[in-house]
Structure 1
Amino acid sequence: MELLGIHHVSIMTGKAEKNYDFYTKTMGMRMVKKGVNQDDTTSYHLFYGDAVASPGTELTFFDLPGIGPSYQGVSSISATSLRVANTEALQYWSDRFDQLNVTHEEIKQRAGRDTLAFQDFEGTRLILVADNGEQGVAPGKAWDQTEVPVEYGILGLGPTTLTLAKPASTIMILTEVMGFRHTGSYPSLAGDFADIEVYSTGQGGAGAEVHIETRPDLPNARLGRGGVHHVAFRVPDESEYERWADKLSKLGIPNSGKVDRHYFRALYFREPNGILFELSTDTPGFDIDESMDSLGETLSLPPFLEGNRAQIEANLRPLVLDEA
């Protein structure tokens, strides 16, 4: 069994409408699903991805109006990356962020790649990563129905950064349970701290990496708006998903058990530092209940919630998205 890479990353937002504007208009991503949090159907769950909702391209957001701020620290997913084609694209984004007053750093090297760190309006820490022809997990397809030129568009998810005080137990889960391998390191950009260690799975490359930052000087993180709820890793199909479920059970790792999210199958567990991991199938995909041309245009509910649509819609706050 081998995990293919990053499947999706789920984040908290307190302002879904502004979130939609930022990720579809500023960032040029496609809304591929407008649904509800299946564990709390009074809350929206928004998915943004590439042009064809490819696995490994989705940023998802739980809408929780009134949620407090996040506080950075250890035992957290501290940065999420998005892939672009090349360094020229990073320069485009640097200029665009200047024009739109988006907080960002200069272009810097991380793990041998050109990168551009920035933050959304709620302080979510994001990093654009230039592929520059690197081999590994294939990129997605940039959405072309946006003002962002397709050659500079977002191609999917890049490395996920975990910030930890004591990383040994997390590394053990990554390598001995999940099959990641150590593939490099690079200097911390935060000061005189240990190098950031790189772990890869599948074909490797930007779409298949976890970066471990060791920061014993920081307090524990507190999750709020702009904070990352969990990271999911790609399982190719349901057959292998069943094998992963059996493996976690046999190893005695506490987990959610098998969860059907309709668009994918999921398994959830917390690694020893408390970060929530998910294993998610590439299949059946986000077009199981909508045509590819109309993804995200209406409220999608899985079959096990469809019978309660009237009640669910009555309990959801109005969500007015400016799609112009």
Structure 2
Amino acid sequence: MNLTGLHHVSILTGKAEKNYLFYTKILGMRLIKKTVNQDNTESYHLFYGDAKGNPGTELTFFDIPHLGRTHKGASSISSTSLRVPSTDSLHYWAKRFEKLGVHYEGIKKRAGRDTLAFEDFEGTKLILVADNNEKGVAPGEAWDGSDVPKEHGILGLGAVTLTVADAKPTVRVLKELLGFYYVGSYPSLDGDYPDVEVYATGEGGVGAEVHVATRSDLPRERLGRGGVHHVAFRVPNEEEYNEWAKRINQAGFVNSGKVDRFYFRALYFREPNNILFELSTDTPGFAQDESVETLGERLSLPPFLEPKREEIELRLRPLEFEESK
């Protein structure tokens, strides 16, 4: 029973309209689901992914207007990678970011791969990483509905970096509870700090990695807009999900219990450095209530919220996406 990679990463935004413009018009990702936060239906939950909404390709955003900024620090998911086809793609993106005024760094090596770090308008730290035909968990399919050439388009999620004051308890959970294995390490690019440790699951590769950075000098992060709320790992089916739920309980971790999100099944718990992990199923997927061709075009509600659609829509502020298409 193995986790097979990263499922999604969920982030906080204070402005859904600008968020939509950045991730679809600048990054060329597809809005695959416009729905609500199921725990607070007055808030939007936006999912961006690849052409078909494949698991392992989604960045999701909870829209919380007027949310304060993130005060960055330890006990955080400090960066999220996005896969692109090649090193040539990184050069394309550097030119695109320069043209569009996106803050970015030069191309640098991380874990032996060519990468390009950048930030969105709320300071979310993102890293483009070149696949270069690397073996491991398969990428998704780039969306061809934007002006980003498909040969340079975003293919899905790459590694997330966890920044913690003490790596040992986090690593223990990754290895002993979740079944990750040590791959190697690379020098910190932030200064004279311990090497960043690399752990992988399943078939490995950048789509199945967690990088652990030790920063005992930092205060604990205070989460706000642009901050990462949680990272979710892939469980291939509901049968294995049920077994994982038992395993988390037997290990004594306080957790959410099994949660039906309709598009996937979820279970949440915090590791010892207080970072929120989620286990999510690949099934049943995002095309249950919309066709693949029309993903993200309407407000989608799971069946248990559909009877309240009129009430929910009255409380939601309108999003003016159409004018910017």
1:186 maps to which residue?
186
Distance 1:119 1:254 in 2: 33
Matches within 5 A, 1:43-62: 43-62=43-62
Distance 1:20 1:137 in 2: 28
C-alpha displacement at 1:219, in angstroms?
1.0
Distance 2:278 2:177 in 1: 13
**In the alignment, residue 100 of structure 1 is paired with which amino acid?**
L
SS in structure 2 opposite 1:174?
Answer: helix
SS in structure 2 opposite 1:308?
Answer: helix
Distance 2:219 2:268 in 1: 25
Distance 1:89 1:75 in 2: 32
1:120 aligns with 2:127: no
1:26 maps to which residue?
26
SS in structure 2 opposite 1:303?
Answer: coil
Distance 1:323 1:207 in 2: 31
Distance 1:134 1:318 in 2: 42
SS in structure 2 opposite 1:229?
Answer: strand
1:287 maps to which residue?
287
C-alpha displacement at 1:254, in angstroms?
0.8
1:40 aligns with 2:40: yes
1:264 maps to which residue?
264
Further displaced range: 245-254 or 199-208: 245-254
Distance 1:145 1:315 in 2: 31
Deviations 1:279-302 (A, max 9, x none): 000000000110000000000000
1:240 maps to which residue?
240
Distance 2:82 2:241 in 1: 26
Deviations 1:43-68 (A, max 9, x none): 00000000010100000000000000
2:15 maps to which residue?
15
Superposed CA RMSD: 0.5
SS in structure 1 opposite 2:249?
Answer: helix
What TM-score do the two structures reach when normalised by structure 2?
0.99
C-alpha displacement at 1:258, in angstroms?
0.3
Distance 2:10 2:101 in 1: 24
C-alpha displacement at 1:318, in angstroms?
1.1
Distance 2:2 2:324 in 1: 39
Distance 1:100 1:226 in 2: 19
2:200 maps to which residue?
200
Deviations 1:235-276 (A, max 9, x none): 000000000011111121111000000000000000000000
C-alpha displacement at 1:323, in angstroms?
4.7
Runs of 4+ in 1 over 2 A off after TM superposition: none
Distance 2:166 2:145 in 1: 44
Deviations 1:151-190 (A, max 9, x none): 0000000000000001111100000000000001000001
Distance 1:289 1:68 in 2: 34
**In the alignment, residue 92 of structure 1 is paired with which amino acid?**
Y
Distance 1:161 1:252 in 2: 25
C-alpha displacement at 1:125, in angstroms?
0.2
2:306 maps to which residue?
306
Distance 2:165 2:274 in 1: 12
C-alpha displacement at 1:76, in angstroms?
0.2
Deviations 1:20-43 (A, max 9, x none): 000000000000000000000000
Give the total of aligned pairs.
324
SS in structure 1 opposite 2:282?
Answer: strand
Distance 2:87 2:195 in 1: 24
What TM-score do the two structures reach when normalised by structure 1?
0.99
**In the alignment, residue 78 of structure 1 is paired with which amino acid?**
S
**In the alignment, residue 197 of structure 1 is paired with which amino acid?**
E
1:143 maps to which residue?
143
Runs (5+) with no aligned partner, structure 2: none
**In the alignment, residue 44 of structure 2 is paired with which amino acid?**
Y
Distance 1:323 1:220 in 2: 38
Deviations 1:204-250 (A, max 9, x none): 00100000000111111110000000000000000000000111111
Further displaced range: 247-256 or 226-235: 247-256
SS in structure 2 opposite 1:191?
Answer: coil
1:225 maps to which residue?
225
- Percent of aligned pairs with the same residue? 67
Distance 1:250 1:77 in 2: 26
1:5 maps to which residue?
5
Runs (5+) with no aligned partner, structure 1: none
Distance 1:10 1:191 in 2: 28
**In the alignment, residue 284 of structure 1 is paired with which amino acid?**
P
SS in structure 2 opposite 1:307?
Answer: helix
Distance 1:116 1:313 in 2: 39
1:253 maps to which residue?
253
**In the alignment, residue 309 of structure 2 is paired with which amino acid?**
R
Distance 1:249 1:59 in 2: 28
